[in-house]
């Protein structure tokens, strides 16, 4: 007994003292984080911070309200600028947008862009660059036929007959499916058969063929306008059928909330995302009268397409405001919203229209202060996000604790027609895709 008391009274070794100090720091941080809502901080470079800080989950959300070329042009131009900024800051001339995001969500035109940027190529890298996606939207950037190309783009967003859109999407995506993406992808539509929203998800696709859809069908589903006939879409095994209309007529014309919900509840792929402070979200809106101006009411009755567009814009703004309120004081750093007004869309060329929209300042939501005109232009916001994404990439490389674990395909398909997850299948899928230079002459 005396020996035991003597041992307890003996001074601790340096190793024991260091271990106690580390344990104290870890539990102090956990207590601050989970009991009092504070942030994890014990000074830069400490072992506790390095162990606990896995970085933020990076989310890209692109609206698609209405499905016109104007809706996609701002997003495509912003993403092209973002990719150029990422390449400049990292020194990697082949850097792609998908390399710096853990999840993408897009509806309508935004769904097409998200699918293009996250499509896996034959080498395992993203198949298309953001500049190629911009060229797809604008036709040939710089030519003086922007107005005509706007009309041609709109043909992809008509319900009923899918002849035009199906040919274009088939050339862009081939036989690739949701499994053929480099990171999780969410694309919503509205299922008229069940009168409820339906979300195409890579996380579900890797679980079974019943939830795996060809990307060309996914894009056709999210682009189908509410005023036309529904687009019939089936999974690769034919067991799941969707009567799709555009997500713009549902509550997911702005998919940011759906993407955030997916991350916070998907603990298998995003185990450390506990709240909005663990996210970095870039949300890109459609071109609209977001500067407070209002389009004069038409003397004729509006078409179903016009009604759907106005409704979708209103829903997208409501979602943006709700998300901004959820991020609170972190809005502007953890949640960045980009949106432009339609005043710049009368430019002679697509390049001029894109530049004008990036130079605009949009109206943004502020916690407890309503809405105000942003102090930064859309271009300045894009550049700031690029810098944050590079920081997150570096932080992730230095952290021993990964915060993202993307699901892998469990079992390959038996049919050679529908296989797409293996390396050979990916090469086969990509081989059916044309060179981006051929889009302009074949659309």
What b/e sequence results for 92-110 when a residue is b if at least 16 CB atoms lie within 10 Å of its CB, and e otherwise?
Answer: eeebbbbbbbbbbbbbbbb
Which helix (H) or strand (E) element contains residue 173? helix 163-173
Tokens of residue 314, six digits: 């209103």
Question: With b meaning 16 or more CB within 10 Å and e meaning fewer, what string describes 147-177?
Answer: eebbeebbebbbbeebeebbebbbbbbbbbb
Residues 219 and 176: their CA atoms lie apart, in Å, by 12
Given a contact cutoff of 8 angstroms between Cβ atoms, the answer to whether 205 and 183 are in contact is no
Q: Look up tokens 């539990």; give the residue.
A: 27
CA distances from 313 to 56, 228, 306, 366, 408 (A): 29, 19, 11, 19, 36
DSSP secondary structure, 114-160, as one string: HHHHHBB-TTSSBSS-HHHHHHHHHSSTT-S-HHHHHHHHHGGG-SS
**Residue 143 burial by Cβ neighbours in a 10 Å radius (0-12, 13-18, 19+):** middle
The answer to whether 139 and 145 have CB atoms below 8 angstroms apart is yes
Q: How far is CA 353 from the centre of its chain?
A: 23
**CA distances (Å), 149 to each of 111, 143, 237, 267, 368, in order?**
19, 10, 36, 43, 42
CA 273 – CA 442 distance, rounded (Å): 44
Tell me the C-alpha to C-alpha distance, in Å, between residue 250 and each of 168, 272, 338: 25, 30, 21
CA distance 173 to 427: 12
Q: Are 295 and 289 in contact (CB under 8 A)?
A: yes
Which residue out of 107, 201, 246, 342 is catalytically annotated? 107
Q: How far apart are CA 157 and CA 224, in angstroms?
A: 5
Q: Is 425 exposed, middle or buried (0-12, 13-18, 19+ CB in 10 A)?
A: buried
Known catalytic residue: 28?
Answer: no
DSSP 55: -
Instruction: Report angle CA 142, 146, 150 to the nearest 5 degrees.
Output: 140
- Angle 342-380-384 from CA coordinates, rounded to 5°: 130
| Catalytic residue IDs | 107
């Amino acid at each position: 007994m005396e020996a035991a008391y003597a041992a307890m009274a003996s001074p601790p070794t340096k190793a024991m003292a260091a271990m106690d100090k580390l344990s104290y720091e870890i539990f102090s941080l956990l207590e601050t984080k989970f009991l009092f809502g504070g942030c994890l901080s014990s000074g830069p470079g400490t072992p506790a911070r390095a162990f606990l800080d896995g970085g933020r989950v990076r989310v890209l959300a692109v609206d698609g309200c209405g499905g016109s070329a104007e809706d996609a042009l701002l997003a495509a131009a912003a993403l092209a600028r973002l990719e150029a900024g990422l390449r400049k800051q990292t020194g990697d001339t082949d850097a792609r947008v998908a390399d710096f995001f853990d999840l993408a969500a897009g509806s309508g035109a935004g769904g097409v862009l998200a699918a293009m940027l996250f499509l896996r190529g034959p080498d395992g890298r993203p198949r298309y660059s953001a500049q190629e996606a911009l060229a797809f939207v604008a036709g040939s950037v710089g030519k003086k036929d922007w107005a005509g190309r706007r009309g041609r783009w709109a043909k992809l967003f008509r319900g009923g007959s899918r002849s035009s859109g199906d040919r274009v999407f088939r050339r862009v995506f081939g036989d690739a499916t949701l499994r053929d993406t480099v990171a999780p992808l969410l694309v919503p539509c509205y299922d008229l058969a069940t009168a409820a929203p339906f979300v195409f998800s890579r996380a579900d696709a890797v679980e079974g063929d019943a939830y795996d859809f060809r990307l060309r069908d996914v894009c056709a589903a999210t682009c189908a306008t509410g005023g036309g006939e529904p687009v019939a879409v089936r999974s690769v095994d034919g067991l799941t059928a969707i009567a799709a209309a555009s997500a713009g007529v549902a509550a997911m014309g702005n998919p940011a909330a759906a993407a955030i919900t997916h991350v916070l509840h998907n603990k298998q792929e995003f185990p450390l995302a506990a709240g909005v402070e663990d996210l970095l979200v870039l949300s890109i809106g459609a071109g609209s009268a977001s500067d407070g101006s209002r389009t004069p009411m038409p003397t004729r009755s509006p078409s179903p397409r016009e009604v759907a567009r106005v409704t979708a814009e209103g829903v997208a703004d409501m979602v943006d405001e709700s998300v901004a309120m959820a991020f609170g004081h972190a809005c502007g750093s953890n949640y960045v919203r980009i949106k432009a007004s339609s005043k710049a869309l009368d430019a002679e060329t697509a390049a001029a229209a894109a530049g004008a929209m990036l130079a605009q300042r949009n109206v943004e939501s502020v916690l407890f202060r309503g809405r105000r005109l942003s102090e930064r232009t859309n271009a300045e916001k894009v550049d700031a996000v690029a810098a944050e994404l590079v920081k997150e990439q570096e932080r992730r490389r230095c952290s021993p604790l990964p915060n993202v674990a993307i699901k892998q395909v469990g079992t390959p398909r038996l049919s050679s027609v529908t296989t797409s997850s293996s390396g050979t299948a990916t090469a086969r899928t990509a081989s059916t895709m044309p060179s981006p230079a051929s889009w302009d002459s074949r659309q």
